[in-house]
A and B are shown apart, each in its own frame.
Chain A
Amino acid sequence: MITDAQRFQPFSDEPIRLIDEGGAWLAPFSCDLDDDTLIGLYRHMVLGRMVDERLVRLQRLGKSSFVAPSSGHEAAQVGIAGAVHVGSDWIYPYYRDTALALAVGWPLVDMLGQMMGTRADPARARQMPAHPGSRALNMFTVASPIASHVPVAVGTAIAQKLAGAGDATVCTFGDGATSEGDWHAGLNFAGAQGAPIVFVCENNRYAISVDLQHQTGSPNVAAKAHAYGMPGYLVDGMDVLASYLVMRDVMAAARDGLGPALVEMTVYRYGPHSSADDDGVYRASEEVAAWRERDPIPRYRRFLEGRKLWDDAREDELRAALKAEIDAAVKASEAAGPVPVEWMFEDVLSRPTPQLERQRERFRAARRAAGEDVEG
């Protein structure tokens, strides 16, 4: 149920914002979150940032082939994660959702196993890095083709509606995804069905190098919701409280059968699109520096400090604890070792085809002939 229908309005010209850059509370209503929740949001943002920074280093060390940096997106992602009922709701993330995946409980060891392609990856090292997924968390496995998960997420939401269990789906994507046909196909079907799904655009203004002005003539992404008969909320995605509380309300509305919503979260990615990108070619360093000044983590820390919930000692303690967790997970994921060659042939269908069996036998024979260890 929407706790206060007047609280957040769709289709605003300016992003919904609850704390200012100095961390001061702006809204005309009071913040109803308890201290543990407030601190938990901060902890997850710092975790996301520290993991992202570690992933970049692991890639430079050659331990991971690819990273999609998420720094700058933490407030939006942690806000989304906070609104998910883990285990009953479904999550359809995209490749930049590091902080989101961790905040809903994806184990660090699983994530690092996925990033390094070791046996620690429950998905058996089948995908390139930055492609999370977890059956236990109802977190759908990311696929690279942009927006291809959007119609799939809608199918899950329609099935949730038919099951009548009062659960909802959240589906995230970047700004580039909004230009894909699959994005339209998904939102249109969700609107027609009144499916319990919340679409979230983490709008960082760049699809690799292409800026938003070259992506769409629409004044913003949220406005596109008009066409699908759903509310579109424009939110400051670098304000974790705005991100979380808007998401909490729209997810509750979806669970209550009030239909889908689109939420646009304005964010900025501090790193390049990926470890294979050079963002200096298309963005001025002054622009990046200006957005660095608006970093969502210090901004929210100032809010917590204003409430006497945070200080330097707690910061040091948190970072030391998270560093130890990350170090241990990196070590465990690496120690799990590489996956066996022959896993390549498994999980294509529920049973291998005779065609694939024959290919596998020939492959084995060739390896044996070359003196390789076919069991390895």
Chain B
Amino acid sequence: MAVQNYVQTIARTLMEEMRRDERVVVLGEDVGKRGGVFLATEHLYDTFGPDRVIDTPLSEAAIIGAAIGMSVYGRRPVAEIQFSDYVYPGFDQLVSQAAKLRYRSGGAFTAPMVVRMPAGGGVKGGHHHSQNPETHFIHTPGLQVVYPSTPNDAKGCLKTSIRGEDPVVFLEPKRLYRALKEDVSDDVDFMLPIGRGVLRREGDDVVLISYGASIGETLKAADALAEQGISADVIDLRWLMPWDENLVLERVAAVWRVVLVSEAPHSGNMMSEVAATIAEEVLDMLEAPPLRVSGFDTPYPYAQDRVYLPGPNRILHAVQQVLDY
């Protein structure tokens, strides 16, 4: 075990995977000599050289498109988009090419590749450095989507993604890059299974479900609830597509009340899907309607950077509503 922060873990995991498998290549803007603007690819260029750590032109379409073409040829590309807010010039590559390649070729061609992108707010970055774009990708059949919330999860999920057979959108909560450190597995084959969430805390009174950076606020809310004598389950989904229906339905059926926390804009976000599935499958077990606490249907605001996010107070208010129902 080594104590590492999130972004160090990304860099070290990439180093391990590049050592293990020479098919793995890293490409993106500033990923080479600079080691990435967040240093998520630090030391890779010095270790593996320009053939395997490729500084690309400033073009997300070129980065993602080339990653697809490399994966088709047998490489295992890990592309970096500097901020998820900048993925849109490459969006067509993900949606029209990567996501549909296996399907449209009847399985003849596949794109095993990872597109890493820092996402989420709370860094005073305004709307173009703060968004949570996961819904676009969840709504695109043929992509897997993962949004790990801790350094250790990031390691396990990144290895699973690189070694998998499908395109993965790998979202990293940038405000946690250096905000917390934890013991990270030093097992070079540490992998977390696709589509499996994790119960961060077990309780009897309410289930709180979240993922990504919002897990931090959700755990703070759970702490505050504990002081009031209310025990909360906290589920970290980790994977958004596929997502862990079994864990969610099992806990909601056991606890009967649920609050869903996501910092993405409210309408049609990931938690809309989770809430609909809960309603379809275990409605009769519920003591109160599922409530969502989320970002708003606005562009991400600059001045109100922190209050836009679903903080502990908004989560606690929703918990009170489902308890009082």
Contacts and interface: CB of A to CB of B under 8 A. Distances in A.
Interface stretch (A38-46, A63-71, A149-157, A213-221): A149-157
B61 A185 contact: yes
A150 B308 CA distance: 40
B222 to A, nearest CB: 27
A258 interface: no
A158 B70 contact: yes
Given A141-B105, A152-B68, A348-B141, A182 B61 contact: yes
A145 B96 contact: yes
Interface string B244-268: 0110000000000000000000000
A189 B57 contact: yes
B70 A348 contact: no
A62 interface: no
Interface string A129-161: 001011100001101110011111111111110
B57 A155 contact: no
A349 B144 contact: yes
B24 interface: no
A353 interface: yes
Interface in A244-273: none
B59 A188 contact: yes
B319 interface: no
B66 A158 contact: yes
A358 B242 CA distance: 12
Interface in B107-122: 107-110
A317 interface: no
A134 B104 CA distance: 11
Contacts of A37: none
B97 interface: yes
A145 B65 contact: no
Contact of B72 (A140, A148, A181, A347): A140
Contacts of A145: 92, 96
Interface string A145-181: 1001111111111111011000000000000000001
B149 to A, nearest CB: 21
A39 to B, nearest CB: 32
B61 to A, nearest CB: 4
A126 B103 contact: yes
Interface residues of B, number: 50
Given A349-B144, A354-B242, A155 B106 contact: no
Given A159-B75, A348-B142, A148 B65 contact: yes
A350 B166 contact: yes
A127 B104 contact: yes
A126 B59 contact: no
B62 interface: yes
B67 interface: yes
- Name the residue among B93, B195, B241 with the largest chain A CB count within 10 angstroms: B93
Interface string B75-112: 10100000000000100110011001111111111100
Interface centre among B105, B108, B246 (most CB of A within 10 A): B105
* Top 7 closest pairs, chain A to chain B, by CB: A155-B69, A151-B65, A155-B66, A353-B242, A124-B106, A159-B73, A350-B165
Given A158-B66, A354-B242, A354-B246, 20 more contacts: A124-B106, A126-B105, A131-B104, A133-B104, A133-B105, A140-B109, A141-B105, A141-B108, A145-B92, A151-B59, A152-B68, A152-B93, A155-B69, A155-B73, A155-B77, A158-B69, A159-B74, A189-B56, A353-B195, A355-B242
Interface of A: 90, 121-124, 126-127, 131, 133-135, 140-141, 143-145, 148-160, 162-163, 181-182, 185-186, 188-189, 192-193, 346-350, 353-356, 358
Interface of B: 25, 51-52, 54, 56-57, 59, 61-62, 64-75, 77, 89, 92-93, 96-97, 100-110, 141-142, 144, 164-166, 195, 241-243, 245-246
